[in-house]
Amino acid sequence: MMKPLENKFKHRDLNWLSFNKRVLQEAEDKRNPVYERLKFLAIFSSNLDEYYRVRVSQLRQIKKIKKSLRKKLALKPSKKVKEIIAEVKKHQHKFGEIFHEQIVPELKQNSIYLIEEEDFTTSQKEEAKNYFNAEVVQNLKPQVIDFENGKKAFLKNNTIYLFVSFKNTELAGLVNIPVKQNGRFVTYKTQGEKHFISFLDDVIRTQIHQIFPNKEIEGVYEVKMSRDAELYIDDQFEGVLAEKIYESLQQRTDGQPTRLLYDSEMPKPLQKKLRKHLGLGKIDMMPGGKYHNFSDFFSFPDPTKNADLFYEKLPPLSHSGLEKSTNYFETIKEKDQLVHYPYMSFSYVEKFVEQAATDEKVTDIKISLYRVADESKLTSSILKALKNNKNVTVFVEAKARFDEENNIHWGKKFEEKGAKVIYSYPKIKVHSKILLITRQENEESVHYAYIGTGNFNSETSKIYCDHALFTAHKKLTKELNRVFKVLQGDLIIPRTKNLLVSPFNTRQAFTNMILREIDHAEAGKEAKITAKMNSLEDKEIIDLLYRASSCGVQIRLIVRGFTCLIPGVEGLSENIYMTSIIDRFLEHGRIYMFHNDGDEELFFGSADWMNRNLDRRIEVLAPVYDPEIAQEFKDILNIQLKDNMKARIQDEEESNNYIQPKKGEDKIRSQYEIYNYLKTKNEL
Give 425-443 as a 3 state SS string: ECCEEECCEEEEEEEEECC
Asked if pLDDT for residue 373 goes beyond 80, the answer is no
170: how many CB neighbours lie within 10 A of its CB?
A: 12
* Cβ atoms of residues 634 and 620 within 8 Å: no
pLDDT for residue 55 is more than 80? no
Instruction: Please give the Cα distance from 642 to 105 (Å, whole number).
Output: 34
Residue 607 to residue 605: CA distance in whole angstroms: 6
CA distance 266 to 222: 9
Burial bucket for residue 374 (CB in 10 Å: 0-12, 13-18, 19+): exposed
Mean pLDDT of the chain: 89
Name the 3-class secondary structure at 662: coil
Beta-carbon contacts of 66 under 8 Å, excluding residues fewer than 6 positions away, are none
pLDDT of 245 = 38
The residue-averaged pLDDT of 66-77 equals 47
What pLDDT does 352 receive?
Answer: 97
pLDDT number for residue 248: 45
Asked if residue 517 has pLDDT above 60, the reply is yes
pLDDT tens-digit series, residues 94-115 = 999 999 999 999 999 999 999 9
Rounded Cα distance, 17 and 217, in Å: 38
Contact in structure between 366 and 620 (CB atoms under 8 Å): no
- Distance between CA atoms of 187 and 224, rounded to whole angstroms? 24
Give the pLDDT of residue 240. Answer: 44
What is the torsional sign of CA 405, 410, 415, 417? positive
pLDDT at 73: 42
Express each pLDDT in 245-296 by its tens digit.
344 444 444 567 778 899 999 999 999 999 999 988 888 888 988 999 999 9
CB 597 within 8 A of CB 537: no
Of 312-316, 425-429, 545-549, 606-610, the least confident: 425-429
Is residue 601 within 8 Å of residue 520, measured between CB atoms? no
Least confident residue range of 79-83, 233-237, 448-452, 554-558: 233-237
Question: Residue 88 and residue 283: Cα distance in Å, rounded?
Answer: 12
- How many C-beta neighbours within 10 Å does residue 137 have? 15
Q: Identify the CA nearest to 559 among candidates 53, 5, 15.
A: 15
Q: Name which of 194-208, 232-246, 444-458, 468-482 the model is least confident about.
A: 232-246
C-alpha atoms less than 13 angstroms from C-alpha of 414 in its C-beta half-sphere: 31
**Bind-site residues for Mg(2+):** 371, 401
DSSP 52-118: IIIIIHHHHHHTTS-HHHHHHTT--HHHHHHHHHHHHHHHHHHHHHIIIIIIHHHHHHTTEEEE-GG
- What does the pLDDT average to over 585-612? 97
Q: Which of 305, 310, 301 is CA-nearest to residue 197?
A: 301
User: In the chain, what are the domains?
Assistant: 12-309 (3.30.1840.10), 328-495 (3.30.870.10), 502-681 (3.30.870.10)
Radius of gyration of the chain, Cα coordinates, nearest whole angstrom = 27
**Spatial distance between the Cα atoms of 33 and 307, rounded to a whole number of angstroms:** 9
Instruction: Examine the pLDDT at 76 and tell me if it is beyond 80.
Output: no
What's the average model confidence in pLDDT over 633-653?
97
Query: Average pLDDT of 432-439?
Result: 96
* Known binding-site residue numbers: 47, 371, 401, 464, 560, 588
Provide the pairing of β-strand 433-441 with 362-369.
Answer: antiparallel
Strands 185-187 and 171-176: unpaired
Catalytically active residues, by annotation = 431
pLDDT tens digits for range 387-418: 999 999 988 876 544 445 666 777 788 889 99
Q: Rounded to whole angstroms, how far apart are CA atoms 252 and 152?
A: 19
pLDDT the model gives residue 461: 94
466 three-class SS:
strand
Tell me the mean pLDDT in the region 163-176: 92
Tell me if 169 sits within 8 A of 214, measured CB to CB.
Answer: no
Provide the β-strand partners of residue 366. Answer: 393, 436
Annotated binding site for ATP: 47, 464, 560, 588
pLDDT band, very low/low/confident/very high, at 152 (cuts 50, 70, 90): confident
The DSSP letter of residue 314 is: -
3-class DSSP assignment, residue 575: coil
Q: Give the pLDDT confidence score for residue 422 in this predicted structure.
A: 85
The string of pLDDT tens digits covering residues 15-41 is: 999 999 999 999 999 999 999 999 999
Contacts of 57 (CB under 8 A, 6+ apart): 228, 229, 230, 255, 256, 258
Distance of CA 609 to the CA centre of its chain: 16
What is the per-residue pLDDT across 548-561, written as a single tens digit (0 to 9) for each? 999 999 999 999 99
Separation CA 428–CA 447 (nearest Å): 27
Q: Among 84-88, 160-164, 268-272, which is the least confidently predicted range?
A: 84-88
Q: Does residue 4 register a pLDDT over 60?
A: no
Contact 340, 467 (CB under 8 A): yes
Nearest by Cα to 636 from 568, 577, 589, 574: 589
Please, are residues 338 and 471 in contact by the beta-carbon 8 Å criterion?
no
With a cut of 80, say whether residue 224 has pLDDT above it.
yes
Q: Is the pLDDT of residue 437 over 70?
A: yes
Taking alpha carbons only, the member of 173, 206, 170 closest to residue 188 is 206
Q: What is the pLDDT of residue 181?
A: 96
The alpha carbon of residue 194 and the mean position of all alpha carbons in its chain are separated, in whole angstroms, by: 36
Query: In the predicted model, is pLDDT for residue 511 greater than 50?
Result: yes
Q: What is the pLDDT of residue 322?
A: 97
User: Model's pTM, two decimal places?
Assistant: 0.89
pLDDT surpassing 90 at residue 81: no
In this predicted model, what pLDDT tens digit does every residue of 315-340 receive, in sequence order? 999 999 999 999 999 999 999 999 99
- Dihedrals phi, psi of 391, to nearest 5 degrees: -80, 110
Q: Which residues fall within 8 angstroms of residue 491, CB to CB, at 6 or more apart?
A: 482, 485
For residue 544, what is the DSSP state?
A: H
